Structure 1
Amino acid sequence: MKKSLLVISFLLLMCSCGWAQSYDSLLTQLNNVLDKKQDYDAGKLNRIEQLKKELTNADNPDLNLKYRVFLNLYNEYKSFNYDEAFNYAQKLQQVGHLLNDPEKIAYSRIKLGFILLSSGMFKETFDSLKTVNVKLLDNEARKEYYYLTARTYYDLADFDKDNYYTPIYNSRAEKYIDSANSLSKSSSFEYIYYNGLKFLKSGSIDKAISNLKLLIDKYKLTDHQFAVTSSTLSDIYIRNNHPEKAIALLIQAAIADVKSSTKEAAAMTTLAQLLHQRGDVKNAYMYIKQAMNDAVYYGARQRKIQVGAILPIIAGEQISYVEQQRKVLFFYASLLTVLAIIVVVFAVIIYKQLQKLKLADKVILEANHNLQESINKLNEADKIKEEYIGYYFNLIAEYINKLDKFKRSVDNKLTTKRYDDIRLLVNNINLTKEREELFINFDKAFLKIFPNFVADYNALFCEENRVKLLPNQLLNTDLRIFALVRLGISDTEKIAHILEYSVNTIYNYKARIKGKSNISNDEFEHKIMAIKAI
């Protein structure tokens, strides 16, 4: 049994080395690019900062300037950070409505559709695209709409993988591609790429490969275009059992993604899977961790789930590989005991090797522990995000309804020239009551996520200094300050703005509260952050 284990381990090692040689130089390039990843991201963030300054530096920027800057910010964020891209897609719609420009509104909904599709939200994508009046769009925007709709149907077909629905979705996608191609030049990237995609989905593999290779070999593509084309071509090679070609393309696609600071990308994940299948566990583990970091940074839940499903498998293989190495070393140790003369020498060697293995085990266990903590934090963050997104959407909807009623009432009174009634209507607006209702709604939403917050907070104080709430009171100002801290809002200025206090007042509140607690001031907020959600 031990001999068989030794032979299998040796063969796996040799095969792994042989496979790695064919793309070793490309892996070296990828690793070098990953070392500079922060520099590429810094360049992206610098461009974003310059765009934001463009609005800040402008004197009373008009709505058209805002729309243009918001669109540029959306384009920077769309494959970089889901939440920010979604935010600017919403802002584009808001500015479009303020401009009363139907074309801009329609175009902003296309942009919203793209970011929703990137996060795997098919229903929401279709809902957004269905509201687009295509007749309002110019040719470029119309072409973008058709290509995006085609991609949505293709992605949905791939997601279903169903003998009934998949052909239907593929057929619809082809029709949209044909509509988009009728507006495109036959020599353009989009025309050739989407024709290749259509060939792929219809089973014309040779034509699909021809189109995609034409783009790679003959066209000067942007990093993002190259990554998309290479990833698509690699998928064909995977399906046709040519993993070496697929790996080479995926490495190049991953390099392009890193250079373009594209966080919403599947190339790194697929590359890790293929390397894992080929026995290159070390590189597979390194790249799947990179993919997880990008997925967490990008923030789309679907992407995190996809990568999270693969990472434990590869991490487990990494642990198994180390364990297998240990067994091989023990086998050698048992053989070496026969050689009495060199027992001491080999004993020292084995001891050193075991120390290295223990260190490796410790690193892996720490990595797994950190990974689990990251997953727990992500789950908690997702829950908080989901609860508060729903809470704020409901709250906004309520205020919109109130504004609508107010608008209709004012319109009626203006029509009937009852101006005194309008003044009375305005004077009846009770901002203090509205703010109190806002705090009550915040308290309810927060305590739904952290039902034990008040009890855990009071546990940090002696009996006489604990918070004693009034009947029907959910939170008071002291609790709200540190409720915001628990939600991740650590900036005192932001807390002051939310609670309608001065910054100095918030500082005084914090200092007074921490001074009464049973723990040091430095540890107080760490204890608050340790309070668990349900």
Structure 2
Amino acid sequence: MKIVTFVLCTLLSLKVFSQNKIEKYLDSLDIEVNNSPSYALKKQYEINQLKKNLEAASFLQDKYSFCKRILVEYSKYQADSAQYYLNKWYEYGKQSNDPRWEQEILLYKAYIQTLRSDFTNANHVLSLLPSIENIEPELRYLYARIQFERLLHINNLAENKDSSLNIRIWNKYSPYISPTDVYYSIYYTSLFPQKITDSIYTILKTEAERAPNATPQKAFLQFCLSHLYEIKGDTEQSFIYAICSAITDIQMVNNDSQSMLYIIQLMSQYTGGKDQLGRLYRYTQFCSDNICDYKDLGRSLQLIVIQNQVQKMYKQFISQKQQRYSATLIICLILIIVAAGIAYASVRRYKKKIKDITDVTQDYQQQQSLIPELRRESKIANDKINALEAEIERKNNFFTESLRTQVSLVTKFSQTKKTLLNLITTSQLREAKKLLSDSLLNNNELNQLYESFDEIFLSIHPDFVERFNKLLTPEAQIILESPQKLTIELRIYALVCLGVTDSISIAKLLNYSPQTIYNYRLKIRHASVIPEKDFAKTVMNMYKDNLPDNTTENNE
């Protein structure tokens, strides 16, 4: 038993140590992700120096060389800029006498399109070139590398890899890459991981250590080792090499990188991704930014799949969290119910013991002592009601007087208009000039006065239309065209609600004839669901607590 316990403790401690080691590497990766903008600035500064050299170059050969170097720098950094300098390089190439310039430019064009997973255009460009046997000898290495890069990108996107295609491509193009070249080992291990032996592992690790820092070779070797260690079942080493590859890609500003996507996959599978949701989000956003900058269609599809996995993991985490909260809440509710039940039972037992005639008498006396207090509170409530009614009446009077003043002003200005017109017609220009110092109201201004009345009235009585419609039959319901503008009928009865009940006063306020006002009121009364004789009083008392009495609309 002691031996079993010792073994379990040892395995647990090793697992914790492994997780801590990976966590340290992830912390280093976090630092590099934060420093990525500074690396990009440094990269852009170096490219800008090359651009200055290109502008200063006098000889065509120098321009051709600098343009090619800028293209190479942009090839894994910004594909659009690489395409721009590729076109510029093409123009310089046409002016040179180099017989291989066109083939070299087409190869680089196909290379960039391959890195962006634009296989259709890449295949079209390659179709413009002769077969590898007939191409310029010094360009065959680049041609072979493009074929292998294209195959690796296809394998990354394919669900089921075609092993026979891997063999055909390897047999055809591997002779053009020296076995001592680092990319020979990279392509072989990427295409045939099942054939890797321990000795090859050692060679790859040695080459990865010897490769210069911040170079594509080093990043590629580290990525291959990560993939191979995952196949081998060594998750820790797979993580470490994937993180090292991502750090190398960030340092050299390689936006054509698979390592960060691979890290996200490993984290979601092996490290309890729910505990790393913050990192997963940052890394996913970092990948998304690089892919958008590089416009890589292939990695965009891969990122969508990974994002779906992360989103599913996040939903599971939220669901589990909600389940824990729900369980805690249920337990708390049960405890509260039990406590309430115990308290209730205790109170009942206590009441049964003390309940007697003396208690009934005391309760009666207590109720009697509360009567003066209740009367006082009732009086206070009645005083408040009276004050509110007085306030309502004051506001109603205020709005009525305000409207009466405004209409009077409009009438006065209208008379002034007529007087001015008569003066102009009779050529009394001096008298007309005196009147021009006063501003005249027109119908639009009069409408604005009424709309102002509507807005103020509805702000005080926002449910007036709803209450008014309850007094009408369903087919006679009034619907406002504008939420803050009353119809003529509603405006008439708004005045009635304010206490202006006779049609003559309403006609003066609304600038209509008394007969028109009477006709509108008659139409509304005919559509009433209550007796017509009670309608005006009901509207007038709409915001008062008293019921309508037998007052009729004789004053209409």
* TM-score (normalised: structure 1): 0.54
Q: Shift of residue 156 of structure 1?
A: 3.8
Query: Residue type matched to 2:143 in 1?
Result: Y
User: 1:54-84 CA distances to partner (integer Å, 9 max, x unpaired)?
Assistant: 23344xx443232222211111111111212
User: 1:176-216 CA distances to partner (integer Å, 9 max, x unpaired)?
Assistant: 112221xx6x2x4334434544653x734545433322212
Q: For the Cα contact (< 8 Å) 1:174–1:198, is it kept in 2?
A: no
Q: For the Cα contact (< 8 Å) 1:26–1:248, is it kept in 2?
A: yes
Distance 2:259 2:158 in 1: 21
Distance 2:315 2:14 in 1: 20
Q: Structure 1 residues 167 and 316 mapped into 2: Cα distance closer, same or farther (>3 Å)?
A: same
Q: Shift of residue 231 of structure 1?
A: 1.0
Aligned partner of 1:310 in structure 2 is 306
More divergent stretch after superposition (172-181 vs 330-339): 330-339
User: 1:79-125 CA distances to partner (integer Å, 9 max, x unpaired)?
Assistant: 11121222222332332223243212111122112111111123432
Q: Structure 1 residues 248 and 89 mapped into 2: Cα distance closer, same or farther (>3 Å)?
A: same
Counterpart check, 1:294 vs 2:267: no
Distance 1:216 1:287 in 2: 24
Query: Residue type matched to 2:294 in 1?
Result: Y
Q: For the Cα contact (< 8 Å) 1:154–1:173, is it kept in 2?
A: no
Distance 1:322 1:157 in 2: 34
Q: Shift of residue 317 of structure 1?
A: 2.0
Aligned partner of 1:4 in structure 2 is none
Q: Shift of residue 288 of structure 1?
A: 1.6
Aligned partner of 1:142 in structure 2 is 140
Distance 1:214 1:300 in 2: 31
Counterpart check, 1:189 vs 2:182: yes
Distance 1:17 1:336 in 2: 35
Q: Shift of residue 151 of structure 1?
A: 3.2
Q: For the Cα contact (< 8 Å) 2:222–2:244, is it kept in 1?
A: yes
Q: For the Cα contact (< 8 Å) 2:213–2:248, is it kept in 1?
A: no
Query: Residue type matched to 1:304 in 2?
Result: S
Query: Residue type matched to 1:257 in 2?
Result: D
Aligned partner of 1:483 in structure 2 is none
Percent identity between the aligned chains? Answer: 19
Aligned partner of 2:175 in structure 1 is 178
Q: For the Cα contact (< 8 Å) 2:115–2:149, is it kept in 1?
A: no
Q: Shift of residue 258 of structure 1?
A: 0.8
SS at match of 1:263: coil
Counterpart check, 1:91 vs 2:88: yes
Counterpart check, 1:325 vs 2:321: yes
Q: Structure 1 residues 153 and 207 mapped into 2: Cα distance closer, same or farther (>3 Å)?
A: farther
Q: For the Cα contact (< 8 Å) 2:261–2:303, is it kept in 1?
A: yes
Aligned partner of 2:230 in structure 1 is 238
Q: For the Cα contact (< 8 Å) 1:16–1:280, is it kept in 2?
A: no
Aligned partner of 1:112 in structure 2 is 109
Alignment of 1:248-263 (within 5 A): 248-263=240-255
Alignment of 1:108-507 (within 5 A): 108-132=105-129, 137=136, 139=138, 141-156=139-154, 159-160=157-158, 166-181=163-178, 186=180, 188-197=181-190, 199-200=192-193, 203-206=195-198, 208-278=200-270, 279-281=272-274, 282=277, 283-335=279-331
Distance 1:35 1:245 in 2: 24
SS at match of 1:262: coil
SS at match of 2:233: coil
Aligned partner of 1:28 in structure 2 is 27
Q: Shift of residue 334 of structure 1?
A: 4.2
User: 1:441-476 CA distances to partner (integer Å, 9 max, x unpaired)?
Assistant: xxxxxxxxxxxxxxxxxxxxxxxxxxxxxxxxxxxx
Q: Shift of residue 265 of structure 1?
A: 0.6
Aligned partner of 1:461 in structure 2 is none
Q: Shift of residue 33 of structure 1?
A: 1.0
Q: Shift of residue 261 of structure 1?
A: 0.7
Uncovered stretches (5+) of structure 2, i.e. residues with no partner: 1-12, 340-556
Q: Shift of residue 253 of structure 1?
A: 0.8
Aligned partner of 1:480 in structure 2 is none
Distance 2:98 2:215 in 1: 33
Q: For the Cα contact (< 8 Å) 1:144–1:180, is it kept in 2?
A: no
Q: For the Cα contact (< 8 Å) 1:226–1:253, is it kept in 2?
A: yes
Alignment of 1:38-77 (within 5 A): 38-58=37-57, 61-77=58-74
Q: Shift of residue 226 of structure 1?
A: 1.7
SS at match of 2:177: helix
Query: Residue type matched to 2:93 in 1?
Result: G
Q: Structure 1 residues 211 and 49 mapped into 2: Cα distance closer, same or farther (>3 Å)?
A: same
Query: Residue type matched to 2:169 in 1?
Result: R
Q: For the Cα contact (< 8 Å) 1:160–1:166, is it kept in 2?
A: no
Q: Shift of residue 35 of structure 1?
A: 1.3
Distance 2:63 2:168 in 1: 39
Distance 1:296 1:15 in 2: 40
Uncovered stretches (5+) of structure 1, i.e. residues with no partner: 1-13, 344-534
Q: For the Cα contact (< 8 Å) 1:129–1:149, is it kept in 2?
A: no
Q: Shift of residue 307 of structure 1?
A: 1.0
Distance 1:291 1:226 in 2: 20
Counterpart check, 1:80 vs 2:105: no
Distance 2:300 2:15 in 1: 29
Distance 2:59 2:291 in 1: 36
Query: Residue type matched to 2:246 in 1?
Result: A
SS at match of 2:100: helix
Q: For the Cα contact (< 8 Å) 2:211–2:218, is it kept in 1?
A: no
Distance 2:232 2:16 in 1: 24
Q: Shift of residue 52 of structure 1?
A: 1.9
User: 1:385-434 CA distances to partner (integer Å, 9 max, x unpaired)?
Assistant: xxxxxxxxxxxxxxxxxxxxxxxxxxxxxxxxxxxxxxxxxxxxxxxxxx
Distance 2:46 2:197 in 1: 40
Q: Shift of residue 25 of structure 1?
A: 0.6
Q: For the Cα contact (< 8 Å) 2:264–2:306, is it kept in 1?
A: no
Q: Structure 1 residues 19 and 287 mapped into 2: Cα distance closer, same or farther (>3 Å)?
A: farther
Q: Structure 1 residues 220 and 40 mapped into 2: Cα distance closer, same or farther (>3 Å)?
A: closer
User: 1:279-324 CA distances to partner (integer Å, 9 max, x unpaired)?
Assistant: 2241223212211111111122222222123213313422432342
Distance 1:336 1:228 in 2: 56
Q: Shift of residue 169 of structure 1?
A: 4.0
Across the two proteins, how many residue pairs are aligned to each other? 319
Distance 2:251 2:207 in 1: 19
Q: For the Cα contact (< 8 Å) 1:118–1:264, is it kept in 2?
A: yes
Aligned partner of 2:456 in structure 1 is none
SS at match of 2:238: helix
Q: Structure 1 residues 300 and 154 mapped into 2: Cα distance closer, same or farther (>3 Å)?
A: closer
Query: Residue type matched to 1:314 in 2?
Result: V
User: 1:342-383 CA distances to partner (integer Å, 9 max, x unpaired)?
Assistant: x9xxxxxxxxxxxxxxxxxxxxxxxxxxxxxxxxxxxxxxxx
Q: Shift of residue 31 of structure 1?
A: 0.6
SS at match of 2:254: coil
Structure with bigger gyration radius? 2
Distance 1:42 1:151 in 2: 28
